[in-house]
Amino acid sequence: MISTVRKRRRIAYLSSITVMSFVRSGPGRPMMIADVLRPESPGALSPPKHSPDTELPRLSPVPHSRPAPYRWIGTNFVYFIDIPWCLTLSAPDAPGCGNVSANHSAAALRNIAVRVLEELLGASLPDYQLPLSLEGQPVLSEAALWALLHPRTEHLRKCDADQLRLASEVFLVSLRTATSAIDRILLQDYADAFDLEVFRSVGVMLYGLAHWANAVLHDERRAIHLLDGTRMSQDLISAYREELSERWANDIGYELDRVLDGGLPFIAYACNSTPTINRSNFLDLHNYAPLHRSAQCNCSFIRPPLPDVMSHLARGCVPVLVLDGDVLSVRDSLDGEYVAISHVWADGLGSTADVGLPACQISHIASLTRPLIPNGAFWLDALCIPDEEVSRKRAIGLMAQTYEHAAKVLVTDGGIRTQCSLSSPKEECILRIATSGWMQRIWTLQEGMLARELYFEVSDGLIDVTHFNGPSFHLAWACIPLLRRRSHDLSKLEYYAVSPEPPRCSYRDIIPLLRHRTTSKPRDESVAIAGLLGINAAELVSIPDGDARMRTLLMRCGTLPRCVAVYGWFSRRLDLPNFRWAPSSITHVLWQGELDPNVSRCTEDGLLGLYTVVRFPPVDMRRFIGIAVTVTGEVLLQRPAGRTETFSSRTVHIQLSPAPVMARMQSGLDVLINGILITDRALPTTVSEQAAAAVLIPSLKGRATNDAIHPSDADPLHCQFIAAGKVEANDHVAERRDGGDVMRGWKQVEGIMHSLVPVRLT
């Protein structure tokens, strides 16, 4: 990722070089994008040299319109944003990087867009009358782009496979040439003005065309993969991360990752949308009070008979409610179907059975559940969980059973309800669910995944998961991760309305599902996911300490992915003997790693598994930024396609996560390490990195680095976890700029590598 300032400097250089390439050979010579796209090396690919003998018909003025009828082509979401248009371009007075205006940058990028469009359409673009934006400026709008693409789409649908293959190759060469030119400039480092808006809009256009090619030219995503591997793509995502954070402010938070999973056209769509209503970031539990459905309402509160609720819980039964007029009655969940309500407290439905909720809220809930089941019976935590501690723990211990046995689960979230309707575009519903407060919370993951039938409340009704069958299947799959765990038919692009069997997840499965979710009470995390792991939540509820709960959860899991010990750069670890390697929260592990045939075993004595160990003389990391380790002996390095190669020596660079280092220093503890653990059998190669666990190996303190060790399953190498870290093979990480070997603050040592040996981590 690059900073905004640096991005601006690089794009400014693109504008200056491009404009300088448009040097006129004489009066009237047109400036051609081919001049700037000319490859630098003889072996580089060039776009086909054709002279289109047809010209697209002159378009009538197209009104600036937000919606476009063609956004879904097959399963591809194709989205364009308005490209600010510069109708004239004058070359700078003299070559060089100075005095190049943002207009020149915009014009250069515009000409790149024109050339790619011309190659794709097989015709020259006329100087048609451009529509005006809402600000009155000329733009190449989304509607105008579709007006250009639609005739070409209809024509190509009548072509045979050979013609489509040729059209695909022509487009790929044009796209490769254009992005190569942009990438060459982005790798430079010059300072001047930069038009970020034009860069984003042209980049989104190229991605939109790539998705269009996947659907129309059947290119098997080759154009998309080409773009994904460019520097332009990295800078676009970086720019959009910053733009989304600025536009959505606190309303986007970590849900940004789910938007990014939808691909660049969807990212652009999200950036041009209003933020999803989300009150979770402003929840104040100390001053919390249930809300009425409108600010003008002052209806009375209704609560269920508390003794009835508590007696059901005392028998191990789930109490459900039926509203008759303004009276709530309690019955056993086994006596008939019921709807379990899934919500976030920030929307005003938080309470206890002792206090109840406003009558307006309960009436609304009942109006939603009655069309779903005959008597409208429902379960809602605010009315079915008492404040009394024993009953409360019993109810929480039954949560997984409550949602698993419900006939239907209904999600009611303020953002989804307010900003979606039955007629909303599918991409709008996906965006609102993916960025909702409901998707942020830890408890709601279990509630949504255990549902036999899952419904969402929208402004004028209810939708279920089948709403995303057909073209929007893959986008929903990417942005709403829990849908991947529901019953579906990938070949038919269908989510089934009913999931007859609840999913059972492993610890590894939970990591991406739980990523960045939060809870107001961190100690409840293990309880909130126990049902998904097939673990009895009642056992965990009886343990008061959050760290002890997580330790019990890990031991009940039994087998864990080996990566759990090395991932989690920002994650606090458990402060418990033999478990200081364990993340206190799975939400900060962030990534589950590649599929791994090896697993680790969690025992009372620590984590047992196979790890690659790099050992070296002890280093006190309170004094150093990092360690440059020259590994000697038999050194395995990664190679493409999973291969490894043996070398006699390799230098790698090790850094530790700052947070645990600072925490140990503040507690008066040393930060002494003499080894790292990684999960791969080989070290990384140039400019790549691996997650690592920095460890202290007690048995090696005071011993020579080259002393032999012989770990075995019966006698694994004992390693004490110190901090999460990373190991890089980038030769420039610690180099000095004055010609010395290693930059100040780095410690140089020699080390030895042991590939995949038995380890006991504590």
Whether 8 and 99 share a structural domain: yes
Domain end, chosen from 501, 520, 538, is at 501
What local confidence, expressed as pLDDT, does residue 538 receive?
94
Burial class (CB in 10 A: 0-12, 13-18, 19+), 1: exposed
Residue stretches of the chain with pLDDT short of 50: 1-67, 89-100, 189-193, 734, 736-741
Is-contact 524 531, C-beta < 8 A?
A: no
Whether 470 and 518 share a structural domain: no
Domain presence at residue 729: yes
Domain presence at residue 52: no
Chain centroid to CA 586:
15
Domain extent for 695: 605-761
Instruction: In whole angstroms, give the CA distance from residue 443 to residue 310.
Output: 22
How many other CB atoms are there within 10 angstroms of residue 640's CB atom?
6
Which run of H or E residues covers position 615?
strand 606-620
Q: Is the pTM of this model over 0.75?
A: yes
Is-contact 112 181, C-beta < 8 A?
A: yes
Domain end, chosen from 571, 592, 613, is at 592
Domain end, chosen from 592, 614, 645, is at 592
Whether 584 and 731 share a structural domain: no
Domain presence at residue 251: no
Whether 340 and 369 share a structural domain: yes
Whether 576 and 670 share a structural domain: no
Domain presence at residue 247: no
- Token readout for 487 is 């019953």
Domain presence at residue 54: no
Domain presence at residue 292: yes
Whether 570 and 714 share a structural domain: no
Domain presence at residue 45: no
Instruction: In whole angstroms, give the CA distance from residue 556 to residue 589.
Output: 19
Whether 314 and 461 share a structural domain: yes
What local confidence, expressed as pLDDT, does residue 39 receive?
33
Whether 207 and 98 share a structural domain: yes
What local confidence, expressed as pLDDT, does residue 496 receive?
97
Instruction: In whole angstroms, give the CA distance from residue 571 to residue 591.
Output: 12
Whether 321 and 347 share a structural domain: yes
Domain presence at residue 476: yes
How many other CB atoms are there within 10 angstroms of residue 32's CB atom?
14
Number of domains in the chain: 4
Whether 431 and 564 share a structural domain: no
Whether 583 and 621 share a structural domain: no
Whether 81 and 208 share a structural domain: yes
What local confidence, expressed as pLDDT, does residue 543 receive?
96
